[in-house]
Amino acid sequence: MRNYQQEFEERVKFIKDILVKSGADGIVYGNSGGKDSALVGILCKAACDNTVGIIMPCTSKRNYGMDMEDGKAVAEKYGIETRIVDLSPVKEAFVSQVSSVAELNEKALVNIAPRLRMTTLYTVAAAENRLVAGTGNRSEAYVGYFTKWGDGAHDFNPIADLTVTEIYEFLRFLDAPACIIEKAPSAGLFDGQTDENEMGLSYATLDAFLLGQSVSEEEAQLIKKMHEISQHKRNGIIVYNTPESR
C-alpha cells in the first residue's frame, strides 16, 4: 500500500506549483458525486482555497438524486464551494438541433453530456481565470473508459497515476464520506448505468492486470483489446507535417 500521507503532501505541492506557474487565480472541477471527483476536490481544496466544484446534472435521474447529494456531502465536509448548472435543457436543445442533420445513435447521445460538462468547466475557468482539474484515473484511462474531448479534457490531473483500488484506499485514508466509498461507480450517463457493467469488467480485475497480478486469459485479452481500440483517445491530435518539418 502507498504512503498516503506522503502522497497527499506531494500531490498538493504539485497542484500549488502548477497554479504558480500558470498565473491562475483558482481551480474548477466537475463534482460528479463519485470517487474520482471526490479525491480531486479534496486535493485541490488543500492546495488552493479558491477551488470550485460544479455539479452538472444532465437528464439522468441519478444525477439529480444520489450523485448530487453525495457531491454536496464531500463539498460540505471539506469546505469546497459548490455551484450547480442544470445541463438537461441544454442537451435537449442540442439534440433537437443536431438531429435535423444527422441520425444520432446511442454512442453519440451518451457522449454529449461529458462534452457539455467540459464546455461548462472551461467557460467558468475562462470567466474567472481558473484551471480545470481532471478527474480520470489510471484504470479507466488504460481501457479508454472516458469521453474524448469530454471528461478527458483538462489542464492538469492530480490522480491520473492511481488505479481505482488506490483511489478508494486514498479516500479511506482521508476519511471521505461513506456514501462515496460504498456506492457502485457510475458515470451517471443514463439511469441504471454502472461502470463495471458497461465495461464488462470489474475494477478489481482491471487493477490486478495493471499491477502485474494474475487474471484469466479471457480477461487479459479483453483488457488488451479495450486498450488497443481506445489508443486514439490517449494519442495527441494527428497532424500533417510537410517534408521539411519531418
pTM, rounded to two decimals: 0.92
pLDDT of residue 54: 98
Written as one letter, the residue type at 174 is: L
Q: What is the pLDDT of residue 198?
A: 75
Model confidence at 16: pLDDT above 80: yes
For the chain, the structural domain boundaries read: 4-197
pLDDT in tens, 62-111: 889 889 999 999 999 999 999 999 999 999 999 999 999 999 999 899 99
Q: What is the pLDDT of residues 125-155, one digit of tens each?
A: 999 999 999 999 999 999 999 999 999 999 9
Domain 4-197, classified CATH 3.90.10.10, yes or no: no
pLDDT range class, residue 188, cuts 50, 70, 90: low
Average pLDDT, the chain: 93
* Residue appearing with cell numbers 494519442: 235
Residue predicted with more confidence, 192 or 235? 235
Buried-state track 149-179, b at ≥16 Cβ within 10 A, e below 16: ebbbbbbbbbbeebbbbbbbbbbeebebbee
**Model pLDDT, residue 120:** 98
What is the reported pLDDT for 87?
Answer: 97
Q: Which three cell numbers stand for residue 184?
A: 457502485
